[in-house]
Structure 1
Amino acid sequence: MNARDEESSSGVGALISARGLRKSYGKTEALRGASVDLHAGEILAVTGTSGSGKSTLLHCLSGITRADDGVVTYGKEDLGLLPDQRLSELRRGAFGVVFQFGQLIPELTALDNVALPLLLAGMRRGPAQQKAGEWLERFGARGQAGLRPGEMSGGQSQRVALARALVTEPKAVFADEPTGALDSLAGEQVMTALLHTARDMGTAVLLITHDAQIAAYADREVWLRDGVVHSASADVLAREAVRREG
């Protein structure tokens, strides 16, 4: 067991730590005691089959959803005990989220979509739009600044979504199947842009994916099965791949 694994077993040194998470929707148990750590600057891939609880785990770790039981900590803060206002502050500043279909606001231009988190944080419109434009350029989407989501391709929309997630320079980005709706070339370009930028900034990334090629971009991989997180050693991953194909 290396130093990172030893820390992960206790949560020591983690940016975000989850222990014993349980979450049910009616009679369906999405998480059944899931535990995982995300360290500063780390790219962590969470893999698993459909219905294994991957998105629910991301929602709990990012404060979108509260777990029924268990603890999620960010620094010294227990997300389960925080008021909604503080959770919203974290999602506007410390956390960035990217979804499979971008979930951009259709009525807003790309520039205004990216500027929105800054405006919600209290920045004036002029500086917010200037910074938003800089981030669009950083992701190669400056030419789409005046377009609305319905006028852009999937790859362009996802680049705008990445810019929106990172414009506040968050401590952690949660990416839920960010390339799932894209072809392989666009997916590779989006992943390269996300991870290159995250590494430059020292931002941690929790990446939900079912694609082994996308997971290969990560520093570390874990997999979810029946709502429980398992360490993803090479032999375990190989057996899991065989099980899925079978």
Structure 2
Amino acid sequence: MTLLVAEDLHKAFGPTPALVGAGLSIGAGEIVAIMGPSGSGKSTLLHCLAGILRPDRGTVRYQDVDLGSLSDGKRSELRRTEFGFVFQFGQLVPELTCLENVALPLRLAGLKRRDAESRAVEGLARLEVADVAGKRPGETSGGQGQRVAVARALVTSPKVIFADEPTGALDSLNGERVMTLFLGAVRASGTAVVLVTHEPRVAAYADREVVVRDGRSREVERAG
């Protein structure tokens, strides 16, 4: 089943075009890597897919609903309930413990503290970082912090996770560990992933690859 479709996306920032007719489709439970050099438009494409940016032209449809037809409030609600996010530097709240960070999306959705933290504990254990639950992000390693960020993205059981360079700030060993646990968790839950990366070793984890260059996208054919 096709979950998310973008067609003929155009987006410019002032006189500078970022997307020039880019497109992408992703099925339920599918992992798609978006590759390309710095400045190619791949992060802009991800932000349009997630409803963070509105394209100047073209459409993004999620479960047959045109995101462009939704109000800002409705798109924000969609990002809270249906989408999850993992960024290069985690973007955890430094004043909160790791447990509180993972529980935060559930608390914002109205869940009671005890229930939210119970689910957060399960999420941290699944990513093998239960031991940092009481620590603040600044007290953890980069790899641990990124696994906490993944646990937070997964805690609401989203349909799609948007991951923008999730291992970009990590060494190869920690990056490998994060990707193994991350994709093991999403495959177990049936969550789709849109994965932006410039690293072929990270893109190799995906089911398909799409290359963005000069604002245009094309599917990559894999050998075999």
Deviations 1:129-149 (A, max 9, x none): 111111011101111111111
Query: What is the alpha-carbon distance in structure 2 between the residues aligned to residue 107 and residue 20 of structure 1?
Result: 41
Aligned partner letter, 2:168: G
Confirm or deny that 1:88 pairs with 2:76: yes
Equivalent in the alignment of 1:67:
55
Deviation at 1:66, TM superposition (A): 1.3
Equivalent in the alignment of 2:98:
110
Aligned partner letter, 1:118: L
Matches within 5 A, 1:76-155: 76-155=64-143
Matches within 5 A, 1:142-221: 142-221=130-209
Equivalent in the alignment of 2:216:
228
Q: Provide the identity percentage.
A: 60
**With structure 1 as the length reference, what TM-score do the two structures score?**
0.89
Runs of 4+ aligned structure 1 residues displaced above 4 Å come to: none
Equivalent in the alignment of 1:239:
none
Deviation at 1:234, TM superposition (A): 4.2
Query: What is the alpha-carbon distance in structure 1 between the residues aligned to residue 119 and residue 222 of structure 2?
Result: 42
Deviations 1:133-191 (A, max 9, x none): 11011101111111111111110110000000000011011100000000001000000
Query: What is the alpha-carbon distance in structure 2 between the residues aligned to residue 182 and residue 46 of structure 1?
Result: 19
Deviations 1:68-101 (A, max 9, x none): 1110010121111111121111111110010000
Query: What is the alpha-carbon distance in structure 1 between the residues aligned to residue 69 and residue 221 of structure 2?
Result: 34
Query: What is the alpha-carbon distance in structure 1 between the residues aligned to residue 59 and residue 178 of structure 2?
Result: 32
Equivalent in the alignment of 1:31:
19
Query: What is the alpha-carbon distance in structure 2 between the residues aligned to residue 202 and residue 234 of structure 1?
Result: 23
- Structure 1, unmatched stretches of 5+, are 1-12, 236-246
Deviations 1:20-68 (A, max 9, x none): 1111111111111111001101110110010001111111101111111
RMSD over equivalenced CA pairs, Å: 1.0
Higher strand proportion: 2
Aligned partner letter, 1:56: T
Tell me, what secondary structure is at the counterpart of 1:15? strand
Give the number of the structure with larger relative contact order, counting CA–CA contacts within 8 Å between residues 6 or more apart.
2
Tell me, what secondary structure is at the counterpart of 1:66? coil
Aligned partner letter, 2:218: H
**With structure 2 as the length reference, what TM-score do the two structures score?**
0.97
Confirm or deny that 1:57 pairs with 2:32: no
Aligned length: 223
Higher helix proportion: 1
